[in-house]
Structure 1
């Protein structure tokens, strides 16, 4: 089974784009795909909870963004529905979906580690900071040129940005820890809404209801925790 799983699926789109399943692409990639993958890894025992106490405990590490701070509460009237948006809303939607992802990660940690004393599976979140990646490749031409110049001067290379990610995923400092958040190499708290148990519970239920509606013949849905 796997020891460390880094979930890094993410896109940033200048405008809404509908997928074949009917969801907006950024929501599906940045959030729901991470729910699906983590669920399947657990249910198929590719990530195993029941290990010998001497073994290294497995860890999930969700790649997020500190831009989630200050995003609004999750709107369940619009959750999973396709709603059109343009460039002005693209950035705020990216941050909002990261808040949803962080809320899911917190709830997953809560459910995997019910006893409170011993961590069976670490579930942590990191923002690697600004990275000079290809995430703006679909921005309008002029905006892409401007942002590209800024990225080149200010943002870190993927190689450097990966260092805190690798550290958090394998360091002994995080052995036996869960629901931790790091912004680059700095430990800090996520937005307070992420930690609300009622938000986590509701998101959990709505996420698996949505998955079921998209693929009612899915082999496995909610994790067997």
Structure 2
């Protein structure tokens, strides 16, 4: 559908789309794909909430988007929301602040993420990929679910990755927090990206009747700040690969496509790459029982099962 491919840009896939009167929220909106996604959604007329950890960088990004828009994006279209995915207390505070604004949310782009080679723990003691890439977004989405319901027809777009092919997670979710296995940065990253997809599928199943459509995607390989914490050999390899990478506009295209395309206004629970439906890169990615298990385990780990 749409005829778009890996060369399509976020501007191209949203050409002719009018988002005036719509509200979007993008996590990690101050850099990389989040910044480009924010810019294009605002260019199409949406009010975009930039949910970021570093408010100084978020303000600078907001000013940059407006200044470079040739008057096509107004300052009032972009709002900043403090959100630190490294601490669930911050996630709860951020969700509470957003809900206090009393506005329906038409589009949620769960974009923020990390990819690091070393073992690191969040403030809550979770392995960082699990805690930031999955649990924080799971909790934030669940806490603001009423704002998505109020939109009447809302879309949740989850940025996963083909790196889920490196996942080692089992159907039993053994050692989900990497406390027993020998740590691997790429495998733990793959685990978190697999959970992103499973979360999107289960979210769509549970809330589609409330008008919420959720899909996940692989953005492609792009030169962004995601690799800033990688080893020197990895970064050198990345420099060699730059000519073969997508641009930020191409990398953000699938997120924007899923957020705006009429083809997917009511069709969810799917996985995409280069603006096309794709087959997930992990054997358990279509396991419905695992989708439910990840959801229930995530509720327990974030304390939602005690509400």
TM-score, normalising length: structure 2: 0.60
Aligned Cα RMSD in Å?
2.4
CA–CA distance in structure 2, aligned partners of residues 164 and 50 of structure 1: 22
1:70-149 map, 5 Å: 71-72=167-168, 73-74=170-171, 76-82=173-179, 89-113=184-208, 120-149=211-240
CA–CA distance in structure 2, aligned partners of residues 196 and 74 of structure 1: 8
Matched, 1:169 2:259: yes
CA–CA distance in structure 2, aligned partners of residues 30 and 85 of structure 1: 20
2:131 to 28, 33, 36: 28
Higher RCO, 1 or 2 (CA under 8 Å, sep at least 6)? 1
CA–CA distance in structure 2, aligned partners of residues 17 and 70 of structure 1: 19
Which position in structure 2 is the counterpart of 1:217?
Answer: none
Q: Gapped runs of 5+ residues in structure 2? A: 1-103
Which position in structure 1 is the counterpart of 2:147?
Answer: 46
User: Greater shift after overlay, 92-101 or 122-131?
Assistant: 92-101
Alignment deviations for residues 76-113 of structure 1 (CA, whole Å, 9 cap, x no partner):
33123546756xx2222212211122112111111113
SS of the aligned residue for 1:96 comes to: helix
Alignment deviations for residues 133-171 of structure 1 (CA, whole Å, 9 cap, x no partner):
111111123432332332x22111212211222111111
Alignment check: 8 A CA contact 2:216 2:272 kept = yes
SS of the aligned residue for 1:122 comes to: strand
1:10 to 113, 131, 134: 113
Q: Gapped runs of 5+ residues in structure 1? A: 52-56, 213-220
